[in-house]
Chains A and B, each alone.
Chain A
Amino acid sequence: MTIEKTALAPGQEAPGEQATTPGTAPRSRLRDNRSAYSLLAPNLLLIGLFLLVPLVWSLLMAFQAKRSFGLGEWSGLTNLSRLLSDDVFWRALLNTAIFTVATVPLSVGLGLALALLMDKALPGRGVFRTIVYLPIAVSSLVVSLVGLLLFDESIGILNGVLRDLGVGPVAWQSNGALAMLSVVVMTLWTRVGFGMLVYLAALQDVDSEVLEAATMDGAGGLDRIRHVVVPWLRPTTFFLVVINMIWSFQVFDVVYVMTNGGPGYSTTMLVTYAYDEGFGPSRNFGYGATVGLVLLVITLAITAVQLRVNRRQEA
């Protein structure tokens, strides 16, 4: 077998060979690799210990009848077959899908709108940016408690104001659709700031010459946004859609604090259901792990589809 060397221009050295003498390259590469691995080791260790081991463990538990204590018993596909005939699981899946469809486009769209607004030379825009971004810095538990304070049907601020206005109290907690709406609103409040910040950074890269050329060609403000800015921001939008979808599928604390999955199962999500089954009073680790596994598969599938679509668009 022969190895063909890439032709090099006179005086040009092959990459990696620049400062090495013959016979020392492998040792140097070995040393570099060792350094790289030693720097990566803490992260790899943490990922292995706290992500991969639990992941494999929960995969195994999904095929066991496993409670809090004692060893689990292999139960084959029992958990999966129960899952498929479990109305609550399907309801939780539907709720999660509805929540995702409601939150992802709005998070991304409102983030872009705010970024475009804050990108202008507005007076006090630093203050406005901070206000919009602030919920990101606040603990999600605190945000959820604020949501509870706002939307509580009996003693909440919103219903107090509505009552004073003579509109009457709104059933934020006892009506399924309105309970979902309250959860969506509080989630958007925490996410829009992140979208705005990422878009603001991306907007700095939009080529001003292209924008000028579009203006010269007679494009108005909206046309420039639609035909220049939005396509330019496609990688950022892709990133935000993926991350928001993953966040939406992982929603937990807002639901747990504000509605506890109710009324009935109206706001029960996949994660809250997995938590209730695995760590709630029933302590059914095996079934909770099965719900979690389904969540993982769905998240992976969505990410894979989006990556594929994005790659096709870029090609």
Chain B
Amino acid sequence: MPPPPSLSRRALLGSALGLGAYGLSGCAGLTERVSSTSRGSRDTLTFQTYGTDVEGNIYDVLARRFEEQNRGVTVDVTVVPFAEASTGIDAGLVSGTAPDIFRVDYPTMGVYASTGQLLDLEDSLDELAGDSSKAFMDAVTDRGRVFGIPQHVDTSALVYRPDVLRDAGITSVPDRPEDAWSWEEFAQVAATLRDAAPAGSSAFAVNWQALGAFRWLNFLFQAGGHVYDEDRTRSLLTSASATRALDFTKSFFDEGLVPQTSSTKAATYPDALFTSGSLAMLYAGNFLLPSFADTIKDRFEYAVTYLPRDRRRASELGGNALVATKGATNPELASEFLTFMAAPAQMKDFCEASVLLPTRDSLLSQELDFAVAADLMPVYADQVTTIEPRDVADVTTATFAEVNLSLANELETCFLSGRGTADTLQALAEQVDESAYLNRQDAS
């Protein structure tokens, strides 16, 4: 009888290690996060973005166009979920593997610009600066240096259902900016809609959930208030304007005008409620119009009017910039790509396909051929003109990301847990003051 095959310890260990390595390599596909980042090379640019399928597709088209114009150059476009984008970029910047180019929203950009993570683009964007409003260029500027291109802007307006308003006896909706409802008029309309709404429906909802908490500032600005003083080192959140803004927005919940689940920390967004037909009105950004067209189809009619006004008209600076990392392997190529993306032809194609507003004055004054909802876009284009440089300065500080989180937490405590206006504003002011030390460093 032949002896049983023997397996030496060394062979056993080798096999185990081999199997382990094989197993781990097999798991790589399962465990690799989509937001993992990598640097480019001399002839390759890596570009991380997020957004809808339409936005991903048009970015890809524009990247191929850049490759055609620059033979031998490759642009690798990676689309990641919005919620993961910042985490991936942060990790990439710390570990030196950040993509050469990435997309970033204006309120988050301050963190990267103020800490020296971004490529200085000052000289290559003079032409763009000459064709864009100061507010938009300010959004990508830190201590006088330009760190990105304001690729597009989006903002909110009031989407409504004419059929529901008609049924409730509301026959007149503002169709000119100067006729925008005052807060008092809007509250009256909302109360009428609430009284006429069937069970399970509400008058309206506001789009201030999660990272959109800063949209509460629309009300603050409309009331004439601001987050910071002129040099952005001290909070102004205990002002009479802030009190008026918070009293007004708190009344939405106290008087049952909005769903209780549409607060600033809600786990879901209220646009699903609008498309399902259980809201008469919705504060909504223009970037939602493609999904509205897709999901509502012809189930019901919807239109857009101007945001209600108080002491002034105001609207938030939404939208995104494209930036290059300071450690990009080929900074000249990265800079060229950003200049290319900021050129009128690319900006126009991107905005038309994605139903977003351009930042160039020359394009804003044109009638763009938006893929959907072109008839609704003039209202949004008008809303954008209400954004003032000081509003932009408030939301692009190095510490605004923290302020945004504080807004989400503290506002919800006020809206749903019954805390008073004064206590809430005091808590917010303290947190803003506490996180403003980087702004003080900026100023010094």
Contacts and interface: CB of A to CB of B under 8 A. Distances in A.
Given A42-B20, A163-B200, A264-B417, A173 B260 contact: yes
Contact of A258 (B108, B115, B267, B409): B267
A38 B405 contact: no
Contact of A276 (B93, B117, B266, B405): B405
Given A69-B117, A163-B200, A283-B111, A263 B265 contact: yes
Contact of A173 (B115, B266, B276): B266
A28 interface: no
A186 interface: no
Nearest to B9: A35
Interface in B252-282: 259-261, 263, 265-268, 272-273, 276, 278
B90 A262 contact: no
A260 B267 contact: yes
Contact of A266 (B20, B267, B402, B417): B417
Contact of B276 (A155, A169, A259): A155
A223 to B, nearest CB: 47
Among A35, A42, A257, A262, the one with the most B-chain Cβ atoms within 10 Å of its Cβ is: A262
A259 to B, nearest CB: 6
Contact residues of B: prevailing secondary structure: helix
B273 A154 contact: yes
Nearest to A282: B402
Contacts, number: 99
B188 interface: no
Interface string A43-69: 000000000000000000000000111
Interface string A267-301: 00000000010011111100000000000000000
Interface in B19-64: 20
B226 to A, nearest CB: 20
A171 B267 contact: no
Contact of A281 (B259, B261, B404, B416): B404
B206 to A, nearest CB: 15
Interface residues of A, number: 37
A152 B111 CA distance: 34
A153 interface: yes
Interface string A140-161: 0000000010001111000000
Nearest to A87: B427
Contacts of B90: 68-69, 283
A123 interface: no
Nearest to B260: A174
14 contacts: A35-B9, A42-B17, A68-B93, A68-B94, A70-B116, A88-B409, A154-B278, A155-B272, A173-B261, A173-B266, A258-B267, A261-B409, A262-B266, A283-B111
B267 A259 contact: yes
A203 to B, nearest CB: 34
A171 B94 contact: no
B405 A68 contact: no
Interface string A86-109: 001000000000000000000000
A111 B82 CA distance: 39
Interface in B75-105: 86-87, 90, 93-94
B265 A261 contact: yes
A52 to B, nearest CB: 20
B416 A264 contact: yes
Contacts of B405: 276, 280-282
A238 interface: no
Interface of A: 35, 38-39, 42, 67-70, 88, 148, 152-155, 163, 169, 171, 173-174, 176, 257-266, 276, 279-284
A277 to B, nearest CB: 9
B210 interface: yes
Given A42-B20, A263-B265, A264-B419, 18 more contacts: A35-B9, A68-B90, A68-B115, A69-B117, A153-B261, A154-B200, A155-B272, A173-B261, A174-B261, A174-B263, A259-B265, A262-B265, A262-B412, A263-B413, A264-B409, A264-B417, A279-B87, A282-B405
Contacts of B412: 262-264
A155 B273 contact: yes
Interface of B: 9, 13, 17, 20, 86-87, 90, 93-94, 108, 111, 115-117, 199-200, 210-211, 259-261, 263, 265-268, 272-273, 276, 278, 401-402, 404-405, 409, 412-413, 416-417, 419, 435
B426 to A, nearest CB: 12
Given A154-B259, A155-B273, A266-B417, A260 B266 contact: yes
B111 A68 contact: yes
B11 to A, nearest CB: 13
B13 A38 contact: yes
A282 B267 contact: no
B187 to A, nearest CB: 21
A200 B434 CA distance: 54
B111 A264 contact: no
A32 to B, nearest CB: 10
B441 to A, nearest CB: 12
Contacts of A169: 200
B401 A263 contact: no
Contacts of B404: 281
Given A174-B260, A174-B416, A281-B108, A70 B115 contact: yes
A192 B90 CA distance: 38
Contacts of A171: 260
Contact of A282 (B9, B115, B401, B419): B401
A185 B87 CA distance: 30
Nearest to A262: B265
B265 A260 contact: yes
Nearest to B87: A279
Contacts of B20: 42
Contacts of A176: 417
A68 B95 CA distance: 11
B416 A263 contact: yes
B268 A152 contact: yes
Contacts of B94: 68-69
Nearest to A67: B115
A67 B437 CA distance: 13
A273 B94 CA distance: 23
A171 B253 CA distance: 13
Given A69-B117, A152-B261, A155-B273, A265 B416 contact: no
B273 A263 contact: no
A153 B262 CA distance: 10
Contacts of B199: 163
Q: What are the nearest 9 A-B pairs in CB distance?
A: A174-B260, A281-B401, A262-B265, A264-B413, A282-B402, A264-B417, A263-B416, A69-B115, A153-B261
A29 to B, nearest CB: 15
Contacts of B111: 68, 283
